[in-house]
């Protein structure tokens, strides 16, 4: 017979295993586009921090922390020639690339697990923009799920500061200038304000999880 301690330990082990599998799936999506596992680590950490700062419960912040590495899982279905093209995509190629948001959502949406449901939301909404000019649905303002609005900031902040097939990393000054310009356009203005008010914490995460050279 199992005692209560054994049952709790089994539950904790199952939960830890689930989180690790979700994280590894996120890494698979990133590795196809030659991005590092540290990208998903940083996005997860930024997302959790911004969730906490925005007033989400500790539980919801933890759910987002676990779910956000899956934001680009739909990239598994995008051809390598588009995913790793060294330069600007054509309009036709970009239309194919945009499909990764809906593909990721379709992969995850039928799960009954809270974390995977959250991951489906993140995959589907992290390319929506505050002014309604994003994709896949052109959702606007607070109609975009808070998980998507948070992950959008985390993902863009990290992507701009990292080398990619199509660009070199931007310096911090240039990144911050973009966030100022895109406040209320691409990004939720209140979340951008929280980002700037707590910038040192985000930079600390960036420095802690740097890519190895």
Q: Is the dihedral of CA 192, 126, 120, 166 positive or negative?
A: negative
CB distance 64 to 51 below 8 Å: yes
Q: What is the DSSP-derived secondary structure letter of residue 142?
A: G
Q: How far apart are CA 77 and CA 74, in angstroms?
A: 6
Element (DSSP H or E) covering residue 151: helix 146-160
* Nearest residue to 32 via CA among 62, 75, 95, 81: 75
**What b-and-e string marks burial along 10-44, b requiring 16 or more CB atoms within 10 Å of the CB?**
eeeeeeeeebeebbebbbebbebbebbbbbbbbbb
Q: Any catalytic annotation for residue 75?
A: yes
Q: Catalytic residue among 34, 75, 181, 190, which?
A: 75
Whether the bond into 21 is cis, omega within 30 of 0: no
Query: Would you name the residues annotated as active-site residues?
Result: 75
């Amino acid at each position: 017979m199992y005692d209560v301690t054994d049952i709790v330990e089994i539950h904790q082990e199952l939960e830890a295993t689930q989180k690790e599998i979700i994280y590894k799936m996120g890494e698979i999506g990133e590795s196809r586009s030659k991005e590092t596992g540290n990208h998903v680590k940083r996005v997860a950490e930024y997302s959790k921090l911004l969730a906490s700062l925005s007033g989400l419960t500790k539980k919801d912040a933890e759910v987002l922390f676990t779910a956000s590495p899956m934001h680009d899982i739909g990239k598994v279905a995008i051809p390598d020639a588009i995913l790793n093209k060294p330069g600007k995509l054509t309009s036709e190629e970009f239309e194919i690339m945009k499909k990764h948001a809906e593909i990721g959502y379709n992969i995850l949406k039928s799960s009954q697990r809270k974390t995977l449901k959250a991951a489906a939301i993140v995959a589907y909404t992290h390319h929506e923009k505050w002014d309604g000019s994003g994709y896949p649905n052109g959702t606007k303002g607070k109609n975009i799920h808070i998980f998507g609005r948070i992950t959008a900031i985390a993902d863009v902040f990290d992507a701009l500061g990292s080398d990619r097939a199509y660009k070199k990393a931007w310096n911090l000054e240039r990144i911050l200038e973009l966030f100022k310009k895109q406040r209320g356009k691409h990004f939720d203005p209140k979340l951008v304000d929280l980002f700037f008010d707590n910038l040192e914490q985000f930079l600390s995460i960036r420095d802690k999880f740097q890519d190895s050279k």
